[in-house]
Amino acid sequence: MAGHTDNSIVIDAPMELVWDITNDLKSWPQLFSEYASVEVLDEQDREITFRLTMHPDEDGNVWSWVSRRIPDPDARTVHAHRVETGPFEYMRIYWEYTQEKDGVRMRWVQDFHMKPEAPASDSGMTEHLNRNTAVQMDLIKQKVEAAATRRAEAR
């Protein structure tokens, strides 16, 4: 059985700002609390291949992998997948941005399957991702809304 998560949060900020900040890969170490670095390896048209490295975990392990993202600014969606899968057989992530009356709903859907030798099962990774996604989305919401406030005050 495969793993699946579907999480979203509403960010009280203009669509363009939410899109720009959350799709600026080079700023992800400042946007997410878990990422130590991002290295863009290749950019062709809309397709971006990059290496993402996390801060060391509680056991001192540093996790790093290569992913490919294909943002579609017209549809306000992003399709991504891991190229170097690490403990995953596969990992696909879908981002969707929807304008709502009280802000922009940013939604992440992750579909994956863990390798048999992985340190977590599909259900264990689903639980971990659901917990961590809530933390990261809340952090992103705070940072983007603060940027929107600064922008509005500067006008």
Residue linked to tokens 């971006």: 48
Residue linked to tokens 């500067």: 154
Residue 1 clears pLDDT 80, i.e. is over it:
no
Question: Which tens digits make up the pLDDT trace of 102-151?
Answer: 999 999 999 999 999 998 999 999 999 999 999 999 999 999 999 999 99
Residue 64: strand, helix, or coil: strand
Angle at 40 (CA atoms; ends 34, 44), nearest 5 degrees: 135
Residue 75: strand, helix, or coil: coil
Give the pLDDT confidence score for residue 58 in this predicted structure. 87
The answer to whether residues 78 and 107 touch, using CB atoms and an 8 Å cutoff, is no
Question: Which tens digits make up the pLDDT trace of 59-100?
Answer: 898 999 999 999 999 999 999 999 999 999 999 999 999 999
Give the pLDDT confidence score for residue 61 in this predicted structure. 86
The contacts of residue 20 (CB under 8 Å, 6+ apart) are none
Give the Cβ contact number of residue 63 at 10 Å: 14
Domain ranges within the chain, ordered by starting residue: 3-154
What is the pTM for the complete model shown?
0.94
Does domain 3-154 fall into CATH 3.30.530.20?
A: yes
Question: Which tens digits make up the pLDDT trace of 16-27?
Answer: 999 999 999 999
Instruction: Report which DSSP code applies to 86.
Output: T
